[in-house]
Structure 1
């Protein structure tokens, strides 16, 4: 079963994502990118990181950027949930290194389909790298 690490500061959204996505994936949730860094030192790496978006000037955004720049995390796809359907938020997330973005509120089925597609592409890239 594929492993997801969810970084979400809102407790209700974090609980929803964990409950909904745990039907298809092994899910771990944390509330900040700092907790994600701590998680990585104690556990195996996830197959995908699902993170909510923070303002580009926030400490959490900077910590997420730090996480994505670490060599151990570079090949892990990042999927970002933005709080509003604003083009600039999506652009910032893509500049950070996100492979995909989705605006809240979102259709949970669409989220799963996008995650599945991203995991599929990631596994193909891994196969190519090994071969």
Structure 2
């Protein structure tokens, strides 16, 4: 099986070298670009499976280039992960709103980088998903469609299972109702945003029966976060 291509767009030599080394060790093929212009030229020669893109680049910023790229039909479905040192929620939301599939806040560990790259590639259908996703004593089995805490199986609906799968592959990040609906139900389906509140309440009730209702947290004025940390 051929290796998947990751286009790494980062202007700092040391960081770019580290990213490429980590990706190569994880089994991916990495292609380097130092800015948006260089990356655009690379797209003429290769068809990357994912772009790892620094937010702040000389000339055209990474987020602006991603916005332009997503407007082109040929690149609309090309997965993009933004690398950013920005910690403010509004900046993270902006990145997702322009079409980025995920973001990673610097500094990050190589393990987190590879996990997020693989998660985005799974969602885009580039690679098959893992049979099990485990966080602490919480285990989600994607083949058996089972969610369990320890040795106890939780009774959840198919929609709540997909919601938990998204939460467990994106821990410690805040998502608005609109973003959750897009990710779990899909952008082509029209559903009231408040529908997400109903499923969140049900999930909390089910998790609460096992003393874990705190896993799904409300972030006032924005949305929800799934986290094992209080």
TM-score tier by shorter-chain length is 0.7 to 0.9
Name 2:75's counterpart in structure 1: 73
Question: How many angstroms apart in 1 are the aligned matches of 2:97 and 2:105?
Answer: 16
SS of 1:123 mapped into structure 2: coil
1:31 to 29, 34, 41: 34
Structure 1 or 2: more helix by fraction: 1
Any conservation in 1 of the 2:7–2:51 contact (CA below 8 Å)?
A: yes
Instruction: State the structure with bigger RCO (CA 8 A, min sep 6), 1 or 2.
Output: 1
Q: Distance in 2 between matches of 1:114 and 1:64?
A: 18
Q: Deviations over 1:15-68 (max 9, x none)?
A: 110111112201001011111111111x2310001101138xx73243332223
TM alignment of 1:108-119, pairs within 5 A: 108-119=110-121
Q: Which residue of 2 aligns with 1:90?
A: 92
Calculate the TM-score normalised by the size of structure 2. Answer: 0.49
Change in Cα spacing, 1:66 to 1:72, as seen in structure 2 (3 Å) is: same
Which deviates more, 99-108 or 64-73? 64-73
Tell me what 1:128 maps to: none
Q: Secondary structure at the match of 1:28?
A: strand
Write out per-residue CA displacement over residues 102-126 of structure 1, whole angstroms, 9 at most, x where no aligned residue. 10001110110111111111117xx
Alpha-carbon distance in 2 for matches of 1:83, 1:10 = 13
Is the counterpart of residue 53 in structure 1 residue 59 in structure 2?
no
Structure 2 Cα separation of the partners of residues 121 and 4 of structure 1 = 16
Residue 22 of structure 1 aligns to a residue whose secondary structure is helix
Q: Aligned Cα RMSD in Å? A: 1.9
- CA distance, structure 1, for counterparts of residue 65 and residue 79 of structure 2: 16
State the 1:72 CA deviation: 1.7
Secondary structure in structure 2 of the residue aligned to 1:59? coil
> What is the aligned partner in structure 1 of residue 217 from structure 2?
none
Consecutive unaligned residues in structure 2, runs of 5 or more: 127-230
Alpha-carbon distance in structure 2 between the residues aligned to 1:99 and 1:17:
18
